[in-house]
Structure 1
Amino acid sequence: MRHYELVFVLKPTLSEEELNSRVEAIQNLIKENQGEIYNLEKWGRRNLAYPIQKFNSGYYYLINYKTDNNKLAGILEYNLRITEDVIRFLNMKIHVKEDKKEVA
């Protein structure tokens, strides 16, 4: 099973309701494509290192998920790219060491 880490930034002009609906839509997209979310963190509103689309800040989120679906990363990146409320995103494959116990 492959593990991924997705960090994305949403526009600072969104209301709390709109933020929640965008995050929920991303979660649903992962779940619909055989992904399993095991961590979701809301980092809150933070300043950007440089202006992006004339915005100086944005709402940061982190989602860790795992999947066996090879195409999920591409599907997710395509949808994030065409969503106007997403300023930036980074989807990375990570290596997780799992403890394996020997059977005696």
Structure 2
Amino acid sequence: MPLYEHVFIARQDLSNTQAESLIEHFSTVLSDNDGKVVMSEYWGVKTMAYKINKNRKGHYAFMRSDAPAPAVQEMERLMRLHEDVMRILTIKVDAHEEGPSVQMQKRDERPERRERR
């Protein structure tokens, strides 16, 4: 099955538990449609570069999935209809990276950048 990475932003006035329950809700949507969530992360409340629906901040969540295209389309459709979700992004990848995402790594654990000329 194809591999995907999903990021979505939820409204800032939700509690942390409500934002994490959104991850669980959309994970069950994928699993009900013959897909599976390989990993999910809650990145917390972050400041956005610009306002979306009069919100300056949002709850960020990240999921890696192994699901057929119709399951991903159904999840995206439900995300667009959900009033708490402001933005979504889904990317098809060739392989999932091992370990936590870059957002969850500490600065000491990140690989060094190469020199600029």
Q: Which range, TM-score by smaller chain? A: 0.7 to 0.9
* 16-25 vs 28-37, which moves further: 16-25
Q: 1:81 — aligned with what?
A: 80
2:56 aligns with: 56
Gaps of at least 5 residues in structure 2 are 97-117
In structure 1, runs of 5+ residues without a counterpart are 98-104
Q: Which runs of 4+ in 1 moved over 3 A?
A: none
Q: Report the Cα distance in structure 2 between the residues aligned to 1:44 and 1:17, rounded to whole angstroms.
A: 11
* Alignment TM-score, normalising by the size of structure 2: 0.76
**Equivalent residues in 2 for 1:18-33 (5 A)?**
18-33=18-33
Q: CA shift at 1:92, angstroms?
A: 1.1
Please name the residue that 2:91 is paired with. 92
Matched length: 96
Task: Write 1 or 2 for the structure with the bigger share of strand.
Answer: 1
Of structures 1 and 2, the one with the larger relative CO (CA 8 A, separation 6+) is: 1
Task: State, as a whole percentage, how many aligned pairs show the same letter.
Answer: 29
2: CA distance, partners of 1:15 / 1:31: 25
